[in-house]
Amino acid sequence: MSTVDIQQVTKTYGEVYALDQVSLTFADREFFGLLGPSGSGKTTLLRSIAGFVTPTMGQILVDGADVSRIPTYKRDVGMVFQNYALFPHMTVFENIAYPLSVRKTKSAEIKSRVERILDLVQLGGYGSRRPRELSGGQQQRVALARALVSRPRVLLLDEPLGALDRNLRQHMQIELRQIQREVGITTILVTHDQEEALTLSDRIAIFRQGKVVQVGRPDDVYENPRDAFSAEFFGSTNFLKGVSLGVQGGIGAVELPDGTRIFTNRALPHSGSSVTLTVRPEKVLIHREQQPAGTSGSQWNILPANVIQPVYMGASVTYQVSTPPSTFSVFQQNRETRRFEAGEAVKISWLPQHTVVLDD
Ligand code: ADP
Ligand code: MG
C-alpha cells in the first residue's frame, strides 16, 4: 500500500515558479503520467518526491506521513532517469546489487534478490556482463532492476525511455507496464511523449508553467480537454472561434464569424459570450457530396472546404483543408475510401457530440 499525496507544493528559483501550488494524489499501484512541455515543472515535482529538491511551500505525504523534510535515502523511492547512469566498471549483478550493498544486506539475500529481479526484467544469465556489453534496451532494464531491487514504495521514472529508438521504446513501454503490474508498485512517469503517456498511464496530469492544467484518465483528457493548451498538447486538434447562441433542447449553437452555426451537445457559456471550440481530426469526415454517406445530414455539422494538401501515411491519410478563416486537419483511415487531391472542393462534417467547448 503506497499513496503519494502532493499538497499545494510550490518551488521557486528566484523569480521562476518551477511548481506553482501543485496538488495531486497518486493512488496505490497506480501508474501515473506527468505530461507537459519542457520547463513545465515535471522533473522538479519528481525530484521533490525523491528528496533532491526541497519545496518552497507545501507538503508531500507518502502513505499519509509527511516526508517533505526527510532525506532521500530514508524515503524509500526507486528512480530511473533518462541517462540511466549504470556504473561502467561494475557487472550487471554488481550494478543491481549496489543499493542493497550500501544497506549492508547479507550476501545470500543480495544474491537471491538480484537473481529474482534479473528474471523479472528478462535478463537472467546476464549478471556477469558489463553495461557496455548490453544493448540500450538491456541497459535500461538493468537500471529499472536496480531501482526495484530494494523494493521501494514508489517508483519514479524521468523520461526513462527517451534515449531509445522508436521500436525499442514501444517494446520497452509494454514491458515496463507488465513489470509495474507484476511488482504492484505506485509509479510516477515523467514524459513529454503523449503516446507514451497514453500507452502506460492509468491517469495523467498535464503540466503548464508549473501548474497542473488537467488530471484524468488518458481517454477522458483526450475526449474532454479543458482548454486549448490541453487539447493541443495531448493530441492534434482543430479550433473554431465563435459566439454562443445558447442551448435549446439539449443542443447548443455557436455562430462563426461568417454566420455559419456549429452545433454541440456540451454545455455552453451564456448567449453572446465568445467561445473556442475544438474538434479532433479523426472525428471529421471528408466527402464530395453535400452530406456524409449514408446519413440525411440533418444532425451533422457540415462546412465547405478546400483541400490544401493530402499527407499520405500508409495506414491513413491526413488532409489539411481550408475552411476560412480556419485550417482543419482531417484524419482518414486508408480503407477503400476515395482520396482527394490538393485544390479539390470538399465538405467536412462531424457530429455535435464531437464539438468540444473549451474554457477561455
Ligand atoms: P521539466 O522537467 O518539465 O522540463 P523542470 O522541472 O526541469 O521542467 O523545470 C521547471 C522550471 O524550473 C524551468 O523553468 C527550469 O529552468 C527551472 N529550474 C529547474 N531546476 C532549476 C534549478 N536547479 N535552478 C534554477 N532553475 C531551475
Ligand atoms: Mg524534465
| Nearest ligand to the C-alpha atom of residue 158 | 2
Band (pLDDT 50/70/90 cuts) for residue 299 is confident
pLDDT band (50, 70, 90) for residue 300 = very high
Strand partners, 173: none
Q: What phi-psi label fits residue 214: left (phi over 0), alpha (psi between -120 and 50 degrees) or beta? A: beta
For residue 54, give the nearest of 112, 6, 9, 86 by alpha carbon. Answer: 9
Name the grid cell of 271. 448567449
Q: pLDDT band at residue 293, thresholds of 50, 70 and 90? A: confident
4: nearest Cα among 20, 22, 21, 28: 28
Ligand 1 pocket test, pick from 6, 16, 82, 83 with the greatest ligand atom count within 8 Å of Cβ, gives 16
- The Cα–Cα gap between 355 and 337 comes to 24
Cell numbers linked to 302: 457540415
What is the pLDDT, as a whole number, of residue 348? 97
Is 23 within 8 Å of 7 (Cβ atoms)?
yes
Contact 46 CB / ligand 1 (< 6 Å): no
Distance 191 CA to ligand 2 centre (A): 8
- The atom number, within ligand 1, closest to the CA of 210 reads 10
Q: So what's the pLDDT on residue 169?
A: 84
Residues 6+ apart with CB under 8 A from 102: none
For residues 317-324, give the mean pLDDT. Answer: 96
Beta bridge partners of 200: none
Q: For position 219, what pLDDT does the model report?
A: 94
Q: Rounded mean pLDDT of 284-294?
A: 93
Q: Which of 24, 32, 70 is nearest to 210 (CA)?
A: 24
Q: How far apart are CA 240 and CA 215, in angstroms?
A: 24
Ligand nearest to the CA of residue 18, numbered in listed order: 1
Query: Which cell goes with 112?
Result: 537471491
What pLDDT shows up at residue 121? 87
Residue 163 above 80 pLDDT?
Answer: no
Is there an atom of ligand 1 within 6 Å of 13 CB? yes
CA of residue 34 to ligand 1 center, whole Å: 15
Whether 132 has a pLDDT exceeding 70, the answer reads yes
* Residue 39 in contact with ligand 1 by CB distance below 6 A: yes
User: Which ligand approaches the C-alpha of residue 37 most closely?
Assistant: 1
Please name the residue whose Cα sits nearest to atom 26 of ligand 1: 13
Does residue 321 have a pLDDT over 80? yes
pLDDT, tens only, 88-114? 999 999 999 999 998 889 999 999 999
pLDDT confidence band for 130 (50 / 70 / 90): very high
Query: 224 CA to middle of ligand 1, Å?
Result: 29
Q: Which pLDDT value is given to residue 120? A: 86
Q: Which range, of 121-125, 208-212, 349-353, averages the lowest pLDDT?
A: 121-125
Percent of the chain whose predicted confidence (pLDDT) is above 90:
76
Atom of ligand 1 at shortest distance to CA of 43? Answer: 2
pTM comes to: 0.90
Q: Is the pLDDT of residue 336 over 80?
A: no
Mean pLDDT within 315-330: 95
- What are phi and psi for residue 184, nearest 5 degrees? 65, 50
Average confidence score pLDDT of the chain: 93
Query: Mean per-residue pLDDT for 299-309?
Result: 95
Ligand closest in space to the Cα of 82: 2
| pLDDT at residue 1 tops 70 | no
Q: Whose C-alpha lies nearest to ligand 1, atom 23?
A: 13
Which residue, judged by its Cα, is nearest atom 21 of ligand 1?
Answer: 13
Residue 11 to residues 36, 47, 175, 325, Cα–Cα distance (Å)? 17, 11, 34, 41
pLDDT at residue 161 greater than cutoff 70? yes
Q: What percent of the chain has pLDDT over 70?
A: 99
Q: Which domains does the chain have, with CATH numbers?
A: 4-232 (3.40.50.300), 236-290+298-358 (2.40.50.140)
C-beta 169 within 6 A of ligand 1: no
The per-residue pLDDT for range 42-86, each reduced to its tens digit, is: 999 999 999 999 999 999 999 999 998 899 888 989 999 876 689
Quote the pLDDT of residue 199: 86
Q: Which atom of ligand 1 is nearest to the CA of 47?
A: 6
Residue nearest atom 13 in ligand 1 by C-alpha distance: 39
Site of grid cell 538491456: 138
Q: Which of 115-123's residues contact partners 24+ apart within 8 Å by CB, and which partners? A: 117/145, 117/148, 117/149, 118/92, 118/93, 118/145, 120/145, 120/148, 120/179, 120/182, 120/183, 121/145, 121/175, 121/179, 122/175, 123/92
Element (H, E) at 46: helix 42-50
CB 81 within 8 A of CB 92: no
| CA-to-CA separations, 212 to 2, 41, 59, 264, 280, in angstroms, rounded | 22, 9, 16, 27, 22
Query: Is 25 a residue whose pLDDT tops 70?
Result: yes
Order of strands across the sheet that contains 16-26 = 16-26, 4-13, 57-62, 65-66
CB burial of residue 197 (10 Å; 0-12, 13-18, 19+): buried
> Distance between CA atoms of 58 and 21, rounded to whole angstroms?
8
Q: What's the pLDDT tens digit per position in 251-283?
A: 999 999 999 999 999 999 999 999 999 999 999
The bridge status of strand 77-81 relative to strand 238-248 is unpaired
Q: What is the DSSP secondary structure assignment for residue 352, as one 8-state letter?
A: G
Regarding predicted confidence, which is higher, 14 or 83?
Answer: 14
Q: How far is CA 203 from the centre of its chain?
A: 9
- Would you state the torsion angle of the CA atoms of residues 322, 325, 329, 334, taken in this order, to the nearest 10 degrees? -30
Specify the DSSP class assigned to residue 85.
Answer: -
What is the pLDDT, as a whole number, of residue 110?
Answer: 95
Give pLDDT, residue 81.
82
Mean pLDDT across 313-320:
95
